[in-house]
Amino acid sequence: MKSEAISERERGQSGPADDDPCFYSAGDLVAAYRSRKLSPSEVTEAFFARIDRINPVVNAYVTLARESALADARAATQSLRPGNALGPLHGVPVAIKDVTPTRGIRTTWGSKIYADHVPDEDALIVQRLKAAGAIVIGKTNTPEFAAGAHTFNALFGPTRNPWNVALSAGGSSGGAAVAVATGMSTLADGSDLGGSLRTPAAFCGVVGFRGSPGLVPAYPSQLAWNSLSVQGPIARSVGDIARMLTVIAGRDDRDPMSYDLDTRAFADTVQSPNVRGWKIAWTPDLNGLLPVDSEIINISSKACDVFRKLGATVDATSPDFNELHEIVVGTRGLSMVALHADKLERWRSELQEGLVWNIEQGLLLTAREIARAELARTRLWRRVHGFMQDYDLMILPGTAALPFPVQLPYPPEIAGTKMTNYMEWFYLTYAISLTALPVISIPCGFTKDMLPVGLQIVGRRRNEASVLTAAAAFERAQPWSHHRPPVLS
């Protein structure tokens, strides 16, 4: 069957890399169910046992769907009859970010405003995951309305980094990344505007994938034509990212940004990944535009050597991102006003400080300033598009800063440069979002204090396959799956 074939390619060896089913790949779980080695019921119970032990320490989950998940697991177990077709995620546990609506399961957006909100409809991504056989086991923590790259809110508090619980897990999909990193879920969904899939993936030592706008259709959505915010997967391996994409990607007419594509092609990217002869551009800081921690630069720069050994050519170069600040201020301010300005009059005192600041900053923008930002983004796109005609990929660090103390709203400085607001420190990921190019964050090493460091791999327009191929090749050359966060010990 297809799922078993993918499983072998996903793990790159003849059997599961770990005897603990909480760390099996999605493909390994499906294969174990088919062979009757495991059942969805016992695996789901094992996940909840781990959650009961680990989650009080890290605060990744804010709502558990224990009753419905165990019922779904029993049904998945009963369906394991000879001849029955199994979905690609049959019985696979998945965590859903607390900004993604889930029917019958509390969804708060990390806000006191929606503390008791229970949707009556699943988001499209949840519908697709369930249709593929996935089991939703809970909702993961996020900053309020997913605004920010550090996961904390007044409703549930902060999510802690499993490599050092005194530090941030990143955001805004911080709960999702921690759940996956600690074996409290096999897969997780997340969202990414300025780096919300990639930053927590880098901080927590997992994989986060931001696809082209429209690759994963979003419904419901207040801003249907928004090309900055996307949904995507978090997993422990590139193979699991590819498997999840086969389920959640593809056209849906409720999202006008979505488009047709053959999602089955994602599985091919992890079969025999080869980047020999490819041309790759490497930049540690967008040609000196942004401050980046020196240890991050040193570790992520070693990825160049890995790709060279794999047969690629790597050049130190970057497109011109000099209008980055103006574009971020204009485009983000506009979306913040559209999504949240109506909350200020009634809820100002309840909203997160950074969110209020961002809404007010947007309200101060003039039409001319917004127009200039849009014009600058077009110029940026043309420069990047022209640059990428000469390169198959661009690589750069996954974050500019290392995980910082969990009680801080953002790092106070990076490489000696003071941060003046909660957005500046994640401009290294935000810059790539503005290009609308597909990008993945993969683990590429550890600091002297054993904190994970991520690497961003950026592809050409709508060329997700090249990004996944390069990430899978790197994963085989420099495996990271055997590393386990200290919180598990």
Per residue in 157-203, pLDDT (tens digit) is 999 999 999 999 999 999 999 999 999 999 999 999 999 999 999 99
| Mean pLDDT computed over 457-468 | 98
Predicted pLDDT at 15: 46
Q: Does the pLDDT of residue 3 top 50, yes or no?
A: no
Residue 377's pLDDT is 98
The pLDDT of 380-405, averaged and rounded, is 98
Provide the token pair at 166. 């005194």
- Check residue 21 and give its pLDDT: 97
The predicted pLDDT at position 272 comes to 94
What are the structure tokens assigned to 235, written together? Answer: 């997993």
Average pLDDT over residues 449-457: 98
- CA dihedral over 54, 60, 62, 67, signed as positive or negative: negative
Residues 31-57 pLDDT 10s:
999 999 999 999 999 999 999 999 999
Say how far apart CA 257 and CA 213 lie, in whole Å.
7
pLDDT of residue 82: 87
Cα 402 to Cα 441: distance, rounded to the nearest angstrom: 15
Q: What is the reported pLDDT for 445?
A: 97
Q: Is the pLDDT of residue 8 over 50?
A: no
pLDDT given at position 16: 65
**Average pLDDT of the residues of the chain:** 95
Residue 458 β-bridge partners:
394, 439
- Given a cut of 60, is residue 14 above it in pLDDT? no
pLDDT computed for residue 286 by the predictor: 98
Confidence band, pLDDT 50/70/90 cuts, at residue 67: very high
The H or E element that residue 164 is part of is strand 164-168
- Arithmetic mean of pLDDT, 352-359: 96
Active site amino acids: 97, 172, 196
How large is the C-alpha radius of gyration of the chain?
A: 21
Helix (H) or strand (E) holding 80: none
Residue 225 pLDDT > 60, yes or no?
A: yes
**pLDDT at residue 83, as a whole number:** 84
Given this model, what pLDDT does residue 482 score? 80
What would the mean pLDDT of 429-435 be, rounded to a whole number?
A: 98
The dihedral formed by the CA atoms of 481, 7, 241 and 140, expressed in degrees to the nearest 10: -70
pLDDT at 2 over 70: no
Dihedral sign, Cα of residue 215, residue 138, residue 176, residue 147: positive
pLDDT at 5: 38
Q: Is residue 239 predicted with pLDDT exceeding 90?
A: yes
Helix (H) or strand (E) holding 200: helix 198-204
> Which SS3 state, helix, strand or coil, does residue 165 take?
strand
List, in order, residues 6 or more apart from 112 with CB less than 8 Å away. 154, 155, 347, 350
Name residues whose C-beta falls within 8 Å of residue 279's C-beta, 6 or more positions apart in sequence: 312, 313, 315, 390, 391, 392, 393
The yes-or-no verdict on residue 9 having pLDDT over 60 is: no
String of DSSP letters for 429-460: HHHHHHHT--EEEEEEEE-TT--EEEEEEEES
- Distance (Å, whole) CA 366 – CA 363: 8
Average pLDDT over residues 102-116: 98
CATH of domain 2-488: 3.90.1300.10
H or E element at residue 67: helix 66-78
Mean pLDDT to the nearest integer, 380-386 = 98
